[in-house]
Amino acid sequence: MKKILSIVGARPQFIKLAPLSRKLRETPAFREIIVHTGQHYDSSLSELFFQQLKIPQPEYNLGIGSASQAQQTGKMLIALEEVYLKEKPHLVIVFGDTNSTLAGALAAAKADIPVLHIEAGLRSYNRSMPEEINRAAADHISDFLFAPTRTAVENLETEGLKKRTYLTGDIMVDSLLDNLPTALEKSSFPEKLGLEEDDYMLLTLHRPYNVDDPVKLGAILRLLAAVETQILFPVHPRTRNVIARHKIDTPGNIRLIDPVGYLDFICLEKKSRKIITDSGGIQKEAYILGKPCITVRPETEWVETVQEGWNILVNPEDPGFIEKVTGFWPQAQRGDIFGSNVAHRMEQEIEKLL
C-alpha cells in the first residue's frame, strides 16, 4: 500500500483537497494522511470547511499560524521535515500557491520524497505577489505537475517542465459540482439576509495590494457606492482587520458579513447577478456558474476566463471603473476550460505514477 501525505493549510486548499481525498481513500492501493499546517486557523476559514466538505480530520495539525512570509514558511519547513521523516511517504501532494504549498514541496524535495503539485503552471507574471513566487518555485521543485488548463501546460512547457506535466483539469470543478445541489437545497442565503436572487452583486477582497493599504481599500468601497445594486461582502479576516483598525466607512449599499462556509458561498455565487473579486478560485467558479466576473486586479492567472469574455480586469483608479462594473455583460458562449471528473483522472494518473 502506498502512503500519500496531502499538505493543506488555507481555505482554498481544503476545497481542492476534498474531492481528491475522497477518491484516494476509496482506492485500496493508497493510504492518505492529511497534514494541516495551521496557516488558516480561524474556524470560519478552516474547521467549517472540514465539516461541510466531509474531509477527514487531519492526522497532523502543525499549528503554525500567522507570521511574516519567511517565518511562516521556515516554521512549516522544520515541522514538515519531522513529519516526513517519521511517516516516510511514497508521495507528498501540495495544492495551489500558498506558503504551505511551497514549504510542503521544498521539505519533501529535500527529503528525497516525490512531490506532486496540483494546480501547477499558473502564472500571473506579477512577481510582487507572494503566491506567484510560491507557485513557480513549487513547480520547479516538484516531480509531477498536474495542470488545470491548457495555458498552464503551455507555461510549464515554456519553462522546460513538459516531461513532468499532466493535463488533468481543475479539481475545483469537482468540488463545485459535487456540492452545488446540496448547497442550493440547504443554504438559506441570500434570502435570510432579505436579498433576492439576481438582485445583488457578491464582493470579495483579500489580496494584500487591495486591502493592506486602508486608503486604497476605503477608496474601492466608496467607489462601489455608485453601483445601484446591493452588494453583499463576506469579509475575509485580513480585510476585516484593516476595516476595523482604520475605521473605514462602508457605503450603505454594501452589506458586510463574516466569511461564510462553502455551501453558503457557492449558493450566494449561483444566485448573484455579478461577482466582484480579487480571488483566484472565485474567478473560476464565476465562469463555471455563468456569472459575469469583475476582477479587481491588474492581471490574472486564469487568462482563459478573460479571453472567453466572462471576466474583466478592472483598476479602481481608472476613471471608467464604475461603468465597467455596471456595464459588463458577457455575450459569448462558455467553453470547457477546466475539464470534468477531475478527481478520478488525478487518482488514475497517481496510480500510474507510483
Q: Binding residues for ligand UDP, per CB under 6 A? A: 11-12, 15, 204, 234, 259-260, 262, 265-266, 279-282, 285
Q: How far is the CB of 146 from ligand UDP (least distance, A)?
A: 17
> Is 117 a residue of the active site?
no
Which candidate, 172, 108, 193, 195, places its Cα nearest to that of 342?
172
Q: How far is the CB of 259 from ligand UDP (least distance, A)?
A: 4
- Distance, CA of 108 to CA of 76 (rounded, Å): 12
Smaller CB separation from ligand UDP, 6 or 279:
279
CA atoms within 13 A on the CB side of 166: 18
- Distance, CA of 198 to CA of 208 (rounded, Å): 29
- Distance, CA of 157 to CA of 107 (rounded, Å): 25
Q: How far is the CB of 312 from ligand UDP (least distance, A)?
A: 17
Smaller CB separation from ligand UDP, 146 or 262:
262
Residues 6+ apart with CB under 8 A from 164: 142, 143, 144, 145, 156
Smaller CB separation from ligand UDP, 21 or 91:
21
Catalytic residue of the set 206, 236, 246, 344? 206
Q: Return the number of other C-beta atoms located less than 10 Å from residue 36's C-beta.
A: 28
Q: How far is the CB of 162 from ligand UDP (least distance, A)?
A: 26
Alpha-carbon distances of 86 from 9, 114, 254, rounded to whole Å: 20, 16, 50
Smaller CB separation from ligand UDP, 133 or 260:
260
Query: Which sign does the torsion angle of CA 301, 133, 144, 285 carry?
Result: negative
Which runs of E-coded beta strand occur in the chain?
A: 2-8, 30-36, 60-61, 91-95, 115-118, 144-147, 165-167, 200-204, 230-234, 254-257, 274-277, 293-295, 311-313
Smaller CB separation from ligand UDP, 15 or 120:
15
- Distance, CA of 320 to CA of 53 (rounded, Å): 40
What is the CA 340 to chain-centroid distance, rounded? Answer: 18
Q: How far is the CB of 90 from ligand UDP (least distance, A)?
A: 28
Q: How far is the CB of 229 from ligand UDP (least distance, A)?
A: 19
Q: How far is the CB of 175 from ligand UDP (least distance, A)?
A: 7
- Distance, CA of 167 to CA of 336 (rounded, Å): 13
Q: Strands 2-8, 91-95: parallel, antiparallel or unpaired by DSSP? A: parallel
> Using a CB cutoff of 8 Å and minimum separation of 24, what contacts does 255-258 make?
255/193, 255/195, 255/230, 255/231, 257/193, 257/232, 257/233, 258/44, 258/234
- Distance, CA of 272 to CA of 284 (rounded, Å): 15
User: Which active-site residues does the annotation give?
Assistant: 206
